[in-house]
Amino acid sequence: MLESLEGSAGQQDPVPPAPPAESADLTAAHYTNPTRRIARRIVQSIFFRGLVNRTIRRTTVVDPAAYGVKGTCVVVANHSSHLDAPLVMSGVPRYISRDLATGVAADYFFTAWHKKFFTQLVFNAFPVDRRGEGANKGLSKKLLAAGVPLLIFPEGTRSKTGKMAPFRVGAASLALAVQVPVVPVALIGAHEAMPRGANWPRPGRPPVVVAVGAPLRARGNETARSFNERIEAAVRALYAANRHMIHD
């Protein structure tokens, strides 16, 4: 859904120059502000219910261990549809979704006021510099350290076929650096319901499953690469274990 604002963002190979430094003034307080939180909850309720609940048949499965997450975390999910961010944000436990911030491309979503306003209002979005440099470098770590949970799609872009791509190591590295758990989420049927290139879900309220798994923590001297492999394996296992539900 985030990419729908720019049409085909995932197809843009060249990364544009870094945006102006104006977004560098964002602080954790911006993402946990009580007034913004109330406004976001109202808008999400209207937006998500109108888009998600009325256009698809959603089933949510949550591992009991996910309710035991205390403090902040990194939520990771496979990415194949505009529906993904709304599905995750409305599917994870409320104490995670309340301030859950979604990483978006700074060079697109934070260069025009209307896109910045919309993504921040609905998705509590924070800017990510795709070159790994610029005014927003380090913001994700600051947010996690301040207790703001983050939503990251480790594949980096939406799948064209629905098939899961290898996970990039960024989310694992981030969780490892700040020592927070990772909550894996598998989205099943989202690609079939609203594939890449579509601007609205297919008719007939197609079935979609949101499977939230047990949180993962980095082990002892585990490397970011090894942790990333476990995270990806967990998402793939959730996907395989719940795939049958969209055919029942």
Radius of gyration of the chain (CA): 17
Residue 12 has pLDDT above 50, yes or no: no
* CATH number of the domain located at residue range(s) 23-246 in this protein: 3.40.1130
Please give the average per-residue pLDDT across 26-52, as a whole number. Answer: 86
In this prediction, residue 20 carries a pLDDT of: 44
Share of the chain above pLDDT 90, in %: 56
Residue 15 has pLDDT above 70, yes or no: no
Strand partners, 189: none
Which residues contact residue 166 at a Cβ distance below 8 angstroms, ignoring those fewer than 6 apart?
Answer: 155, 232
Residue 30 has pLDDT above 60, yes or no: yes
Strands 182-188 and 207-212: antiparallel
- Contact indicator for 185, 210 with CB cutoff of 8 Å: yes
Give the C-alpha separation, 54 to 49, whole Å. Answer: 7
In this prediction, residue 130 carries a pLDDT of: 63
Residue 13 has pLDDT above 60, yes or no: no
Phi and psi for 90 in degrees, rounded to 5? Answer: -95, 0
- Contact indicator for 43, 122 with CB cutoff of 8 Å: yes
Going by pLDDT thresholds of 50, 70 and 90, the confidence category of residue 89 is very high
- Contact indicator for 144, 178 with CB cutoff of 8 Å: yes
Query: Which is higher by pLDDT, 214 or 103?
Result: 214
CA angle centred on 243, ends 154 and 192, rounded to 5°: 70
Strand partners, 128: 105
Q: Which range has the worst mean pLDDT, 19-28, 144-153, 190-199?
A: 19-28
Domain ranges of the chain: 23-246
Q: What is the DSSP string of 35-82?
A: HHHHHHHHHHHHHHIIIIITTSEEEEEE-GGGGG--S--EEEE---ST
In this prediction, residue 8 carries a pLDDT of: 34
In this prediction, residue 141 carries a pLDDT of: 92
- Contact indicator for 73, 185 with CB cutoff of 8 Å: no
pLDDT in tens, 220-245: 999 999 999 999 999 999 999 999 99
Mean confidence (pLDDT) of the chain: 85
pLDDT in tens, 110-160: 888 888 898 899 999 988 876 655 556 788 999 999 999 999 999 987 888
Sheet holding 57-62, edge to edge: 57-62, 207-212, 182-188, 74-77, 150-152, 101-105, 126-128
Give the C-alpha separation, 187 to 202, whole Å. Answer: 16
